[in-house]
Amino acid sequence: MISFTQFLLPFLLAHLASAAPVAPPLSEAATKTYVVSGEPTGPTSLRGFDPSLPFATENTHPTIVFAPHQEEDDPSGISFDFSDIDNPQPIRGTRGGTIASVNDIAMAKSHPDTLAPPVTDHGAVPQMEWPMGLSHSKLGLNKAGWSRQQNVGVLPIATEMAGVDMRLEAGAYRELHWHTAGEWALILNGSARIQSMNTEGQTFIDDVTKGDVWFFPSGIPHSIQGLQNGTEFLLVFDDGSFSEDSTFLVSETFARNPKEVLAKNFQLPVSEFDNIPAGELFIFPGTPAPEDIQKQNVTGPAGAIPNEMSYSYHWSQQEPLIAPGGTVKIIDSSVFPIAANFAAALVTIQPGAMREVHWHPDSDEWSFFLGGHARITIYAAQGTARTFDYGPGDVGYIPKSMSHYIENIGTEDVTVLEVLQAKRFTDISLGQWLALTPPQVVQDTLNLSNEAISSLSKVKPYVVNGPVPPATVPDN
């Protein structure tokens, strides 16, 4: 006798088969079978010596064209000009050799002292250069701007300071925010309106343009808006591990608090917060600022921030010091007291001239190259030294007390910003020190002639002239 289960089973199986999803037919490409021949690993017979195996004896040597002075057996340490050399080689005098494989020609041309370092380089010196152009760009909303940064993540030696290059298009905002680090800024191009408030409820607003500086202490909230054609500016923070991603934002302050809490805090209906941003705005387009700044000059009972504690300084209007080989402008807490621990010099160096050999006894130096091409030899004590090449957009970092110079090796002026973490901009001039040392001590130490010692300047020159012409030999 057939049980009920035996009777029902064929019907259940038929129903399940009809209900199962049918896979769509595979396309011709998906069903194609690829035939792979050979083995991914070679035969064991290729191990070791075998006279029957073919052997390539040909060794291709590159055609070498040397830069001026590159073949000298005892080079004076000048920087080679590889701009017209098709395939620069790491050769200096009798040292070095050719590259017989891959060669980054553009990198070799822009960094001649890395490819063929002077004989004075010695030992291991940490990397002290970072091209900001290699930094990852963070893009704002609706083509409103961007930023890119340098910190210890890309330049580990730079422990005391970090930098950010930021662009705001016309009308765009860097949204209301604050940091755990102090923010020192130099306007590179265009103009901006900056606004802030201190812990006393005193307010601040100003329009700044190319060459001007601002500073916001840690924890002080502020905003930045591009004017007219927008702006680009350089930010320097007093913390080498600083990251733009760790900035405190007003948009996220609202988004990360319950609306009930916001309503209670501001004494407003909950519905007022229905359209707040869901998260970070960062850089975004906004309503163009009114031309008349007074229309946005909001003050409360505490009034405005006193002038002596102003968050801006119109450095663009300062006349530079005229040096023998360029110009120098210095800003520090003596004229800009709110930036109590920031000091900076903006230096121009004419072709062939150089920022004299010096060191900073009170601070590391964070530098940014705005134009031209330069090289720096950094003496790091213990017999170690290394020469680096810098171009526009490069960041340099030199630890405290390490001696260095900045030599213009190009055909255009070098413009470089030097930033210190110090109340005053201080440096020790090697030439001035020797000039103010008893001549006999200098002669006994360095074997310099009396004439050479007497020609040393007792006044700090900052930027010295180009190459000294060779001494003429009188006719017999």
Cα–chain center distance at 393: 7
Please give the Cα distance from 140 to 280 (Å, whole number).
10
Known active-site residue 418:
yes
**List of E strands, 97-141:** 129-131, 137-139
Helix/strand/coil percent split, the chain, to 5 = 20, 30, 50
Helix (H) or strand (E) holding 197: strand 183-197
Could you give phi then psi for residue 296, rounded to 5 degrees? Answer: -115, 10
Q: If you ran DSSP here, which 8-state letter would residue 304 be given?
A: B
Cα–chain center distance at 42: 47
Contact between 284 and 142 under an 8 Å Cβ cutoff? The reply is yes
Could you give phi then psi for residue 331, rounded to 5 degrees? Answer: -135, 135
Q: Of 28, 200, 418, 451, which residue is the catalytic one? A: 418
Please give the Cα distance from 455 to 465 (Å, whole number).
14
Nearest Cα to Cα of residue 245 among 130, 147, 144, 141: 147
Cα–chain center distance at 141: 23
Helices (H) and strands (E) in the chain, counts: 9, 26
User: Active-site residues: which are they?
Assistant: 418
